[in-house]
């Protein structure tokens, strides 16, 4: 299921800017993009994670550059986009960096609200704002945002997270409309529960968390990072050449519908 398909080289000579690429879903996107011939600029706020991902890609024969970047820093984000353009160009932007502070509106403070909004939403506004002129000059490109099913349905105790991801969903559709004429496609993946270092931290704090997350889902398990990365890469690829403004829900059926236990017993 999760074996890499090394024979596919559909991103040959393509350059991508990837945020939050040090861990989990972003790491998986950067590594598989490189395995398929692309050259990612691996960025993350944690420099040691950036080095690990770049080393992994190079040790497998791929090409990558790395840069420490906290996406909440507007000037650094702009500089990183310019650096990516100078390294080879920007064909694809994967906006992956994200954070969650699980609190309700009453218990969340202003600073926490700003942290979630700036990391999950404002960073996407900024990276797209600065990347789009470069993509237009190259004749087009693709942007893939990582939203969440929490942006499609509200998630309890996650007011800021749900609001930020819901806004990512609509910003994705807005940009799809505004930049289609520039041959820039803009789409999002909306993952459900995915086994990444972030979720594993939650599961360590709450030992029943993993089985509870699995139980909610018709497929009775969380996704592996590659199972989110590959749909994201599909949206970035030529296979999705007529897809823009799409929100690809990748959640093992979690948001497909609701179950009536009585009917199961009939
Ligand atoms: N894991 C899930 O169940 C799940 C579900 C839905 C959506 N998502 C989304 O997927 C994306 C990736 O999540 P993940 O589970 O792989 O998390 P993760 O914590 O494993 O990886 C996120 C990476 O982003 C980096 N990061 C965080 N804040 C940053 C900042 N301000 N600037 C730069 N880098 C920053 C972290 O250092 C980390 O390397 C997020 O946008 C998240 O909201 C995850």
Tell me what pLDDT residue 4 has: 55
Instruction: Give a yes or no: residue 9 inside a domain.
Output: no
In a domain, 213, yes or no: no
Q: Let me know if residue 115 belongs to a domain.
A: yes
pLDDT in tens, the chain (266 residues): 445 555 789 999 999 999 999 999 999 999 999 999 999 999 999 999 999 999 999 999 999 999 999 999 999 999 999 999 999 999 999 999 999 999 999 999 999 999 999 999 999 999 999 999 999 999 999 999 999 999 999 999 999 999 999 999 999 999 999 999 999 999 999 999 999 999 999 999 998 999 999 999 999 999 999 999 999 999 999 999 999 999 999 999 999 999 898 999 99
263 Cα: distance to centroid of ligand 1 (angstroms): 38
- Is-above-0.85 flag for pTM? yes
User: Does the residue 163 lie in any domain?
Assistant: yes
Query: What integer pLDDT is reported at residue 88 of this predicted model?
Result: 94
Whether 230 is in a domain gets the answer yes
Q: Is 196 in the pocket of ligand 1 (CB under 6 A)?
A: yes
Atom 21 of ligand 1, residue of closest alpha carbon: 23
Q: Is residue 239 included in any domain, yes or no?
A: yes
Q: Cα–Cα distance between 28 and 22 in angstroms, integer?
A: 9
CB of 55 within 6 A of ligand 1: the answer is: no
- Polymer length in residues for the chain: 266
Pocket lining: 97 vs ligand 1, CB cutoff 6 Å: yes
Split into its structural domains, the chain has a count of 1
Residue 218 lies in a domain: no
Residue 236: per-residue pLDDT = 98
Write out the catalytic residue numbers: 161
Domain containing residue 55: CATH number: 3.40.50.720
Q: For a pocket test of ligand 1, which of 20, 112, 147, 216 has the largest count of ligand atoms closer than 8 A to its C-beta?
A: 20
Please indicate whether residue 30, judged by its CB atom, sits closer than 6 Å to ligand 1.
no
Q: What is the pLDDT of residue 97?
A: 98
Phi and psi angles of residue 257, each rounded to the nearest 5 degrees, phi first: 175, -170
Q: Across-strand partners of 143?
A: 93, 186
Cα dihedral across residues 64, 69, 72, 77: positive or negative: negative
**Residue 87, domain extent:** 15-194+224-248
Ligand 1 centroid to residue 197 C-alpha, Å: 9
**Within a domain: 174:** yes
């Amino acid at each position: 299921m999760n074996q890499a398909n090394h024979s596919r080289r559909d991103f040959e000579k393509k350059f991508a800017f990837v945020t939050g690429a040090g861990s989990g879903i972003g790491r998986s996107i950067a590594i598989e993009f490189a395995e398929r011939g692309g050259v990612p600029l691996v960025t993350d706020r944690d420099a040691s994670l950036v080095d690990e991902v770049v080393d992994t890609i190079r040790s497998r024969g791929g090409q990558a550059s790395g840069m420490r970047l906290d996406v909440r820093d507007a000037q650094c984000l702009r500089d990183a986009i310019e650096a990516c353009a100078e390294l080879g160009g920007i064909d694809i932007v994967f906006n992956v960096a994200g954070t969650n502070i699980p609190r309700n509106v009453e218990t969340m403070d202003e600073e926490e609200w700003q942290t979630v909004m700036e990391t999950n939403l404002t960073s996407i506004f900024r990276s797209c704002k600065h990347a789009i002129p470069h993509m237009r000059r190259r004749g087009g490109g693709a942007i893939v945002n990582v939203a969440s099913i929490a942006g499609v349905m509200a998630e309890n105790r996650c007011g800021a997270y749900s609001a930020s991801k819901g806004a990512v969903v609509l910003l994705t559709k807005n940009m799809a409309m505004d930049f289609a004429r520039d041959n820039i496609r803009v789409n999002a993946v909306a993952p459900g529960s995915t086994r990444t270092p972030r979720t594993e931290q939650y599961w360590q704090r709450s030992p029943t968390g993993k089985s509870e997350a699995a139980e909610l889902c018709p497929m009775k398990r969380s996704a592996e990072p590659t199972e989110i990365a590959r749909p994201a890469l599909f949206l970035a690829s030529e296979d999705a050449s007529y897809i823009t403004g799409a929100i690809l829900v990748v959640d093992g059926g979690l948001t497909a519908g609701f179950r009536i236990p009585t009917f199961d017993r009939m």
